[in-house]
Amino acid sequence: MSNPTSKHTPQPVSSKTTYALAGLALVVVVVIVGALYLWNRGGGDTVRSDGYGPVHDPGVSVALDSDGGIVLGKPNVAKTVDIYEDPICPACGHLEKIYGQEIAQQVDLGKIAVRYRLVNFLDRNSKSKDYSTRAIAANECVAQAGDGPVYGKFHSLLFTTEQPSEGGSDHDNKELAAIAKQAGASDDVAKCITSGERADAGRAHAEASMKALDDLIGKNWGTPSIFVDGKKVDWGNSNWVLDAAK
C-alpha cells in the first residue's frame, strides 16, 4: 500500500504521458520507505476475508472497455470501485494480498464492481524494461474472453504469488500465458498473450489511464490509487472495502 510518503510518484518527461524513474537509487528508497510503511501499519496487515479466494461466482463477468478499463462484476451493480495499479508495483501487490479476497467477496455478492485501470510507469524497473506493458496486454487478453472468475484468478496471481520484484527478473510472454492457463484461460487466450498481439493497445491504454489520473488528482499521483464515485479512497482505513459496498 502507499500513503502520501510511500507512493511511487512518477514525474512527466514529455508531452506524452511517460514517466522516468531515477534507477537503482530510487529503488532503494522505495524499498526502505515501503518497509517503514508496512512496519508502521501493524494490525492493518491482517488479510481481510482470508480463505475466500478470488471471485468464483459464475454470474460475475469481465469486460474490456474501449479505454482499457477492465470491469469485473455482476450486471447492473450500483457502485464501481476504480483501482489504478502497475503490475510490478509492490504496494499494489500488498493491496491485493490484504484486500483482494474481500474485494472478490463483495463482487460475488453483487455489492460492487471493480474497474482496474492499469498503468506502466514502472516498466523501467523491470529486468525486461517492458514487463508492466506486457502484463497489461496479458490482462486484456484474459479480460476480453469475458470469464469473470478466470480473470479474477489471473489478476490475483499476477499481483500476489506471481508478482515480480522491482529490479528483479520478470515473466516473459510464455510464462504470462502459463499463468493465464493456470487461472483457467483458454488456448486462444494463451495465444493472444504469447503473440503479444495486445501490446500496442495495452501501452496506449496505460497512457490513457495515467492521463486520467493526472486529470483526477494532478501529476503527483502514485499507485495504487482507488476511487469510489470519483472520490479518492484512503485504503489505510481497513474498512474501506466494506464502506464502498454499503
Establish if 138 belongs to a structural domain.
yes
Which single residue is written with the C-alpha cell 470469464? 147
Tell me which amino acid residue 199 is: A
Task: Provide the domain limits for residue 86.
Answer: 11-244
Band of pLDDT at residue 219, cut at 50, 70 and 90? confident
pLDDT tens digit sequence for 82-108: 999 999 999 999 999 999 999 999 999
Q: Where are the beta strands (DSSP E) in the chain?
A: 11-12, 19-20, 61-64, 70-73, 80-85, 113-118, 225-228, 231-232
- Of the CA atoms within 13 Å of residue 186, those in its CB half-sphere come to 9
Establish if 205 belongs to a structural domain.
yes
pLDDT tens digit sequence for 22-64: 444 444 344 344 434 443 343 368 999 999 999 999 999 999 9
Tally of domains within the chain: 1
Band of pLDDT at residue 174, cut at 50, 70 and 90? very high
Establish if 86 belongs to a structural domain.
yes
Establish if 6 belongs to a structural domain.
no
Establish if 3 belongs to a structural domain.
no
Which pTM was predicted? 0.83
Establish if 226 belongs to a structural domain.
yes
Establish if 5 belongs to a structural domain.
no
- Rounded Cα distance between 68 and 72, Å, is 13
* pLDDT at residue 82, rounded to an integer: 98
Q: The domain that contains 72 carries what CATH number?
A: 3.40.30.10
Task: Reply yes or no on whether the pLDDT at 17 is more than 70.
Answer: no
* pLDDT at residue 104, rounded to an integer: 98
Establish if 4 belongs to a structural domain.
no
